[in-house]
Amino acid sequence: MARRDHDDGADEGELFRAAVGPVRRLPDTPAPPAPPKPAPRARMAERDEANALSEFRQALQGEPLLAGDVLSYRRDPVPLSAWQRLRRGDLAVQDELDLHGATAREAEAMLRDFLHAAHRSGFGCVRIVHGKGRRAAELVDDGGLPVLKNLVDRVLRQRSEVMAFHSAPPAQGGTGAVLVLLAPPKRR
């Protein structure tokens, strides 16, 4: 057998291609899938909610209400005649929320949802029954103050749809309930 000399002028690359024969290019491997994007967050809403919660907690540092105290609040645009009718209990109550037995956290969520739904429904006057805070231990804090009554007072003062509120007359719950005058819903 004759040994082939590498000096015969043939390029090794050409010899290899001749020995292998025709080839086809393999398709490029696809890039690995990108990791999923994180779910969008409502950062502005979270910040607004945190600010509102902070303001709410600061408002709780104010003068607390006692069991027999009257809840009373009126924004400037409310006419005096409407305010007097609300105080007397002359306005027809269109819906009611009873917070008896709820914890402060549950009551706050229920109250916010109730006010939003009542305003969206176009109700003008609603009643919120919070109790007087004299009996149930979970409704009274360590200082003997009614938790739900103070919570309702603070939340109602912060809600833009609340125009005025006043403790109900004795026949409608007295200082254990509050009548709330809501702003008409905005037209779109």
125-169 pLDDT tens trace: 999 998 876 555 444 555 667 888 888 998 999 888 999 999 999
Strands of the chain, DSSP E: 72-74, 95-98, 125-129, 162-167, 177-182
- Please state, in angstroms and as integers, the Cα–Cα distance from residue 141 to each residue in 98, 101, 147, following that order: 20, 14, 6
- Give the residue-averaged pLDDT of 57-68: 65
Beta bridge partners of 145: none
Structure tokens at 21: 């024969």
Q: Any idea where the domains of the chain sit in the sequence?
A: 65-182
Q: How many helices (DSSP H) and strands (DSSP E) are in the chain?
A: 5, 5
- Give the residue-averaged pLDDT of 45-64: 69
From 6-15, 81-90, 110-119, 153-162, the region with the lowest mean pLDDT? 6-15
Residue 18, helix vs strand vs coil: helix
Q: What's the confidence (pLDDT) of residue 1? A: 47
d(CA 161, CA 130): 19
- Give the residue-averaged pLDDT of 167-176: 88
Q: What's the confidence (pLDDT) of residue 20? A: 87
Other C-beta atoms lying within 10 Å of the C-beta of residue 139:
25
* % of the chain beyond a pLDDT of 90: 28
Classify domain 65-182 by CATH number: 3.30.1370.110
Q: What's the confidence (pLDDT) of residue 67? A: 74
Q: What's the confidence (pLDDT) of residue 138? A: 42
β-pairing, 125-129 vs 162-167, is unpaired
d(CA 179, CA 169): 9
